[in-house]
Structures are given as C-alpha cells and as structure tokens.
Amino acid sequence: MTKKRTPRRHSGQSRTRRHRKSTSEYGQTQNLLVDRILGFLAGRPEPASPAMILAGLDLSDQDKKRVTEILADLERTGKVTRQHKKYLLADGGGLIQATLDLTGKGFGFALVEGADKKDKDPFIAPSHLNGASHGDRILIRLIGTGRGRPEARVVKIIKRGISRLCGIYTAGGKTGYVTPDNERLPYTVHVRRDNSLGARDNTAVLLEIIDYGSANRPPEGKIIEILGDPFSVAVQLRMTLEQFELPRSFPEDVEQEVRRLRPLVKCDPERTDLRHIPHVTIDGETAKDFDDAIAVEQTKTGFRLHVSIADVSHYVRTGSAIDIEAYRRGTSTYLPDLVIPMLPERLSNDLCSLVPDQDRPAFTAILEFDKKGHRTGQRYCKSMIRSHRRFTYTAVRQILYDRDPDMQESHRDLLPMLEAAGKLAQQLQQRRRQRGSIGFNIPEAEIRLQGDKIDTIARAERNQAHQLIEECMLAANEAVAETLANANQDVLYRIHERPDPAKVDLFTEAAAVMGLQLPKTEISPAWFARVIEEADGSPVQYVVNNLMLRTMQQARYSPENLGHFGLAAEYYLHFTSPIRRYPDLVAHRVLLNFLAKADKNTKKTPVLPGKTVLPDAALHLSTRERLAIGVERNARARLGALFLKDRIGEEFEAIISGVTSFGLFVELLETFISGAVPVQEMRDDYYVHDARGHGLVGEHTGKTHRMGDLVQVRLDRVDMLAKRLTFSLVENQNH
C-alpha cells in the first residue's frame, strides 16, 4: 500500500501563511512603536536623545537598534529633525490634532477643527484607538484610506474629554462596576468597595474616573454622588445634564454681581417713555421669562407695530462676570419642568422680565407698514414700557379666533389692539409666503409631568396666536438686520445657506416615492414651500417636513450676511430674545452703538467680552445652540423610553419615517416617539433594501414597506441605557 503524501505546495502555502502572519504582526508592532515615538516627541519643546526616548517609553536597551532605525526613517520622511544626536518633531510630524467622536459600536471618527466641510472625518478602528475615549483631544496619524474616507490611528491622548460620568452601579464583592449611561462609552468602570459610597445594586450614580486604565486593565473610578432610582424622571433629567456637562448653578462671582443689581425705576432722559402704549406679552401657560411685548395700532396708511424687547444690556455689562458666564452658556436650555438659564433667575424672571403692571427698561423697534404688510419705515429707541396684560396663546386664540364673547368682554379694553395685531400678522404671513418663505409644519411632542412621573406625551398645541407673535418677531429681526447691514455695522447675522444639491436630489426622490407632485421649477425657497403645501393634510405631511428639514443646512450665526434661505430673507438676525440667547444681546449692543454714533460724547459699548472677535463668537454660539438642541433631544429620548418602559407588548399606530438595509424607522403617531423595526425581526419574508424607492421589498411575496406608509407596530424591547425602542410590525388583517 502506497502511503499518501501531502503535496509540497500545501506545505509551502502553510509556511507562507505563517510567514505572512509573522510579517504582519511585526509590521503592527513597528507601527505602534512609531506612534509611541511620535507621541513622546509631540509637545516637547526640547529635543530628545534615543536614550531619553527609551527611558520615556519604558523600553529596554535591546530596543535601541529599532528605535534608532525608526528615528532615521522619520528623519528621512521629514517628520522629525535631528539636532546634535537629539530629535525633535518637525512641523507637527504629520500628526493632526482632533477630537474623538466615538460611536456605540466601538469605532470612532476624528473631528478635525477647521477642516473643510467637504472633507470626510477620518475613521478610527477600535484597534487603533490606543486607549482613547469619546470626547478626548487626540493626536492622530493618517494610515490609509478605506470605505471612501481616510483612516487614522490615535498616537497620543492630549486631554481626556470625560472625567466624570453617570451610570448604573452593579454591586460586587470587593469590587463593583458602573455601566455608563452613555452608549458612546462602550466600557465599564470598576469601583472598589471603599470608593462606592455604599451605593446599592442597580442604583444610578455619578462617578469620577481616577484611572483610565490600559489595554489590559479596565478604568477605575469612585462614586461621588448617589442619584437614586434610574427609572425616575428627576434622575433621568439629571443624567442628561451630566452627560452634556451643563451647570446646575451659577458661579459665586456671578451671584454676587446679581445681588448688587438694582431695578431701574425711573425713565431717564435717554429713554423714550412708552408706558402709555398698550403693550402686552403673549406666551405659553408655563412661561416665566417674558422678554418680548408687542402693541399694534391701525393707522390711516396701515399699521404701526411696537416690538419692545427687555433691555438686558442695561443690567448685563460687557465683560462683567454675568456677561462672561452668559457668553459661555450661549443659550438657555429647556427641558420638561426644568430650565438651565443663560442668565440668573433674578434677571431672567424678574429684573429683565416684562411682567404686567411693572415699569421695565426695554429696546423698542417701531415699525410702520402699509395695509398690505409692506414695511415703509422703522425707528428704534431705548424705552421704558409697562406691560398692560400677560396673555397666553390659548387666551388670544379664544379672543381673536374663537370669538369667545366672555373672553372678549373681559378684555374689551385691549380688543382693538389685539384685532389690529391679528390683521397685521395675517398680512405679514401672506407677504412671506409670496416671497417663498418655507412654512415648516412639524408638530412637537409636549411632555407633561405629574410629580416625578410622566403624565402624558402628546402633540403640543400650536394655534394662530403662536403665528401672530412669530410674525411680529420675524418682522423685528428682519428690520434690525437690514438697518445694521445698510449702516455697515458689524454684527452676528442668523444665516441659512442653500441646501446641498445632492441632498435635494435625495429629498426629491423620497417625495416622489410618497406620491407628491413636485413643482417643475428651479429649486428655491418657493419650490420647497410648494412641496410643503402639497403635503399639507396628507398622511405623509410629518415625514415630508422632517425630511425637508434634514435636507436643509443648519442655520447658524455669522458675521457675514449670507441671507436666510428658509425664510427667503435677504437680511436676518436674532434680536428679540436677549434673556435666553446671547446673539440677541450682541445685536442690542450693536444697535445701541449705531443709535449713539451721532453723539460724539457717548462712549462706544463693547459688544463681546474680553478680546473675543465676531468670527469666534459666531462659531462658539452656533456650537452652544447645537449642544442645547442635543440636550433637549436626549431628554426627550430618555423620557420617551421611560414612558413606554412598562408597555412592552402593546400596539401603536405609526408612520415609517426612514428606511435602511437594517430595517425601518418609525414614529408613533400619538406621541411622536421614535423607534426601529429591525429587518431580522421581519420574518414573514426575506426583505431587500430598495434604496431608490426608499423601501424594503419582500423577495418572495413582493410585499413592500415604504417611507410614509402607515403601519401598526408592537413594542418589543426598551433599552434605557441606549434610549432605544425596538418594535415589530403587526400583520394587517386587511392586507
């Protein structure tokens, strides 16, 4: 019997694989050592010798040859320079400073400050993180390209982004651990018993990281506060604040300044006395800071509109502790039953709030309009006003639009003024629509609490009274922007640039799939406005409005006037809410300087604290606004998950708001809470993603689920840590 022999080529292939593997491992080790050397040299003002590098990296003398060879290669490629046998990083050494944006799946992206918008953020694989975590300031080295974007490796952690976090404590023997409440932190933090504050199992805690660990050792922390039941509303909102590092109080120097403030009770000579004008405020039922009041008079030629805004600049002097803190915060953040204000409460709810029957310093825009709503004149003044009534949107709706006889009788003295305001608002809205202003109609969910429980989540009411106030504020913002632009005054404009054509194409495809007849005209604000009108009242209205919003660029602040695409406005800025937005306070100061320029004895008011310049302020304040939006979304997601936590198995009406190869995104019609239907849970068929048709198509049955379809879903899972809801489709018996 002949003994079979293994062909030599197989044996050779095996040796080749082993050789390749060992070569690959050597290459990885070499690359890691290159990164460690570059990281060691980064930030060093003095050159370092090979011996210093060996000692600094805790390497042995056996590694000296490799280190010397790497230094020679780095010198040849211009990444380091040699000075008398010592080495220094040359022109950054090819390293790029960035912030790590880590995903819940363990990989991340390097957000490079100042990078071109068209450039894609470098991708960082989990194996290339080098111990970095979400939010860290890092140095990266580009190592290639993949997935249509550059890939990078973390060389050095410059500064940790997160030093404390919220999470759920799991008790152990000598050591327990905390699972972070943020899915972008895909690790657990070990807590020794003597650092646990006696926390109980499954308790929400606030933890401080005392050791970030290493590749072979988990991070370690100590609990600094026990928050309590993670399923309570108060604890969930607190975790939101901690996740976004929002302050819960003001610094002591700010509080001291606030205590020294005294109310302005006299109408000094530099102010116009407008206390006789029947100003009113119109806000929501729960509002406490009233920063705008209006009065409208019908004239022979049309209308005269007074928009009086709280004179925050009178109390908040540029460069003061209050001003510096207000600039740092940038904006107020609104959560259910909780406000993180830009200004301390004594200012926002008292001294600067236009409460009824109290004299208050204000900045007033007096705008003249003809009978068709065309603005024919404008003037501005520092004023003293007195609000004659605090109205709610509901009350104004009952008076003006429901024509409630009892409400009209009880407010008879102000009825002519309100009726004039209603007529002017109608004309202003018509004018905006004629020029192509986009009237987004996206309903919002209102979360109502009952103690520490969620009472209801339902559509927030929006009526014609909201539109009345909105038109008056838009008119004032446009008038001030145009005035300052024509006077060549440097200010922060509110700009909204044209949407990316590629995104418009995607939106057009999706809208056509949902059955909309799209206008055959050039893409303009008016084109988008007509699409919204086409969708108005249809089942897909909500999805179309949301898709359109995602198609648009984000509005932002800029010292350059680039117009506002969404409003179809050539001039626009924020002037009407200085209690809660810092850019409005900047506009007040600039307008004040413009009005005072004729008086040579009047000292010019600085508009920003310290040496801050407008371009930097525009970037900072736009960033703070986006952060506030992120906080509000995070809180809504938390409370939405909490609201449905005990309703697993229940069925809901929903609309498909998005489609990917991974499944469907749905919005519940009653509560506007969003979730997902994973494709692997759709077991009645094998579904294929139809990207152009924005749907999933069953391979065997041909059954299709498209964006905009109404569906019945069942709640299957609630993941409180990820704030993620998972649904499954309920078979429609009539299908």
- What CA–CA distance (Å, rounded) separates 316 from 264? 13
The 8-class DSSP code of residue 164 comes to E
Tokens, residue 363 = 């900045």
The CA distances from residue 142 to 39, 95, 146, 160, 215, in Å, are 14, 8, 11, 21, 21
Q: What is the pLDDT of residues 235-287, one digit of tens each?
A: 999 999 999 999 999 999 999 999 999 999 888 888 999 999 999 999 999 88
CA 696 to chain centre: 31
Secondary structure class of 378 (helix, strand, coil): strand
The pTM of the whole model exceeds 0.85: yes
Domains defined for the chain, CATH in brackets: 25-89 (1.10.10.10), 93-159 (2.40.50.140), 164-230 (2.40.50.700), 252-497+553-635 (no CATH), 645-729 (2.40.50.140)
Helices (H), 487-613: 501-513, 525-535, 541-551, 582-596
Return the axis-axis angle of helices 525-535 and 541-551, rounded to nearest 10°.
Answer: 160
- What CA–CA distance (Å, rounded) separates 390 from 399? 14
Residue with tokens 């509560």: 671
Indicate the range of 135-139, 303-307, 386-390 predicted with least confidence.
Answer: 135-139
Would the pLDDT of 22 be above 90? no
Instruction: Using pLDDT thresholds of 50, 70 and 90, give the confidence band for residue 382.
Output: very high
For residue 18, what pLDDT is reported?
A: 44
> CB-hemisphere CA count at 13 Å for 149?
14
Would the pLDDT of 117 be above 80? no
Q: What is the pLDDT of residues 609-650, one digit of tens each?
A: 999 999 999 999 999 999 999 999 999 999 999 999 999 999
Instruction: Using pLDDT thresholds of 50, 70 and 90, give the confidence band for residue 116.
Output: confident
For residue 13, what pLDDT is reported?
A: 43
* Phi, psi (degrees; rounded to nearest 5) at 17: -60, -45
The 8-class DSSP code of residue 348 comes to I
Tokens, residue 355 = 């409460």
Would the pLDDT of 65 be above 60? yes
Tokens, residue 246 = 């929002």
For residue 11, what pLDDT is reported?
A: 37
Neighbours of 127 (CB within 10 A): 10
What distance, in Å, lies between the first and last C-alpha atoms of the chain?
A: 69
Average pLDDT of the chain is 91
* Average pLDDT, integer, range 52-75: 89
Instruction: Using pLDDT thresholds of 50, 70 and 90, give the confidence band for residue 23.
Output: very low
Q: What is the pLDDT of residues 294-353, one digit of tens each?
A: 999 999 999 999 999 999 999 999 999 999 999 999 999 999 999 999 999 999 999 999
**Residues 673, 640 contacting (CB under 8 angstroms):** yes
**Residues 382, 592 contacting (CB under 8 angstroms):** yes
DSSP-derived secondary structure for 392-419: EHHHHIIIIIS--HHHHHHTGGGHHHHH
For residue 520, what pLDDT is reported?
A: 82
Q: What is the pLDDT of residues 286-311, one digit of tens each?
A: 888 899 999 999 999 999 999 999 99
Instruction: Enumerate the β-bridge partners of residue 88.
Output: 81
Instruction: Using pLDDT thresholds of 50, 70 and 90, give the confidence band for residue 732.
Output: low
User: What is the residue type of 323?
Assistant: D
Neighbours of 597 (CB within 10 A): 12
